[in-house]
Amino acid sequence: MTAAIIDGKLIAEEVRAQVKMAVEERIAAGKPRPGLATVLVGDNPASHVYVRSKRKACAEVGIESFGFELPADATQEQVEKVVRECNEDPRIHGILVQLPLPAGLDEEAVLNTISLHKDVDGFHPVNIGRLAQKGREPAFVPCTPAGCIYLLKKTLPSLRGVNAVVLGRSNIVGMPVALLLVREDATVTICHSRTRDLQVVVRQADVLIAAVGKAEMVRGDWVKPGAVVIDVGINRIEDPNHPKGSRLVGDVAFDEVKEVASYITPVPGGVGPMTIAMLLQNTLRAAELADKM
């Protein structure tokens, strides 16, 4: 059996098209254009690439971008001041602080400064707290975990009762995606570096979400035949046969696992495109929430 590929790029394009149509309808109805502010501190090349791609995606769907760049030696007060100004600007509906911040800055304090109703990254402690509570609804859900669940719901008729294993317990992906799976009535196991008999636990998964940040850690014999595998990892490894001398791989050994799983996301082209699509969707939602305030 060879797994069917879950085409995150194609599904993300569908989401983006829906957002673009909704933005056009807002403008035609005389409502404000959604606006997203990106706050970038320092000169991390990868962060600059990510922010450029987000601003480009906004332009393609009609969302207005507001870019704020601060030097690497910016103080905590300077960063928080920019965020507070964005909170007060009615043109800005969503605020994204690009992580990681330079050493010496308190990320949690910066994220706490973002207005709950503009937290389109979904990392505000109140939004995460609501996500963890039964009967409470967060204003926004973190984008990458939301993208994972969206892909699963496009692939499976239901997640109710499935045995889901999340490999990784980060605040950005592992923990939020586990909470989202619980909300879908899955039975969830969270694995990490201290998990005993890790391979045995992973092999029990009907749905496996790999978000551990270790290149090709999950091998073919780790995966239950017929499992659905969502690979969140993005790792660059050396490859002398590649034109660039290196290539991107996930946390899953794709060539091995695709012969065991029923569905699998590729890297690149799987979860990655969904992250930005969910950010656009959250920004639109922020504008809709602002309409009611």
Q: Could you read off the pLDDT of 46-76 as tens digits, one per residue?
A: 888 989 999 999 999 999 999 999 999 999 9
Whether 202 is in a domain gets the answer yes
Catalytic residue among 7, 18, 20, 98: 98
Catalytic, 78? Answer no
Residues 106 and 153 grouped into a single domain? no
**For residue 49, what are the contacts with CB-CB under 8 A and spacing of at least 6?**
none
Catalytic, 76? Answer no
Catalytic residue among 119, 121, 206, 231: 121
Catalytic residue among 54, 118, 224, 258: 54
Domain ranges, residue 239: 143-273
Residue numbers in the known binding site are 168-170, 234
Residues 99 and 149 grouped into a single domain? no
DSSP 287: H
Residues 112 and 220 grouped into a single domain? no
Residue numbers in the known binding site for NADP(+) are 168-170, 234
The pLDDT of residue 105 is above 90: yes
Looking at the chain, which runs of residues are DSSP E strands?
4-5, 35-41, 64-70, 94-97, 163-167, 187-191, 207-210, 228-231, 235-238, 246-249, 263-264
Catalytic, 98? Answer yes
Whether 245 is in a domain gets the answer yes
Identify the pLDDT of residue 112.
Answer: 93
Whether 193 is in a domain gets the answer yes
CATH number at residue 44: 3.40.50.10860
Our count of domains for the chain comes to 2
Q: Look up the pTM and report it.
A: 0.94
Q: Distance from first CA to last CA of the chain, Å, rounded?
A: 53
Q: Could you read off the pLDDT of 118-137 as tens digits, one per residue?
A: 999 999 989 999 999 999 99
CATH number at residue 180: 3.40.50.720
Average pLDDT, the chain: 95
Identify the pLDDT of residue 261.
Answer: 98
